[in-house]
Structure 1
Amino acid sequence: MSAGVTLHEALKAYEELAEQGVTMRVVDLYSVKPLDSQTLHEAADATGFVVTIEDHYPEGGIGEAVASALSDHPIPVFKLAVSHRPRSGDPEVLRTDEGISAKAIVGSVSNLVRALQPSYR
């Protein structure tokens, strides 16, 4: 679940993960109010866990909104978000440093799939 610039990173990660045989969904969460909780629940049911990706701090962001909407679901919600002090720089370098670039998303999702679904190769 992502929006804005991180949606494009998630779509790049989707392509790479698909080549590795990892099936996933990318949800464009362009609005947190109203939040499309039906789509969130459908995605959660289909995947078993949710990863949110946002290019700002996690507090009050997409991850918290998704976790709240799925609080009635027994699935984990993992949040990839900015954790360092803001600074200027090349956007790709900054996304990589924050763990929200396509490559970082691939690594995080691959690790989660291995940890949560032991049959993953």
Structure 2
Amino acid sequence: MLLKLDIGDARPLHEQVAGAIRRAVAEGECAPGDRLPPARELARALGVNSNTVLRGLRALRDEGVLEFRRGRGVTIAAAADTRSELAERVRQLVADAARVGYSRNDLVDMIRGMS
């Protein structure tokens, strides 16, 4: 898995780490069940602090993209490919809405109105 961070990106580094892993899953570079390298190796390869990588990994765990298993390390979750793609689209929707002046609550109201 080849991950790259963009120094010019305004997003925090941990979000860039999470986004790079999401992208790798969405593009099929990582499949459900695949093991990620240890956080220290990822941090060294990316040139960031281990805590930065761990923060990004925890965010992905909370989204259901990754599973942390004692003794087995960090693996890609079974439903990661669909969750990763959907989560990225939702993030983009929130960003697009903010650009045109809508809040997250406005979006929730719009979605509820569609039912």
Q: TM-score, normalised by structure 1?
A: 0.32
Higher relative contact order (CA 8 A, sep 6+): 1
| CA radius of gyration, larger in | 2
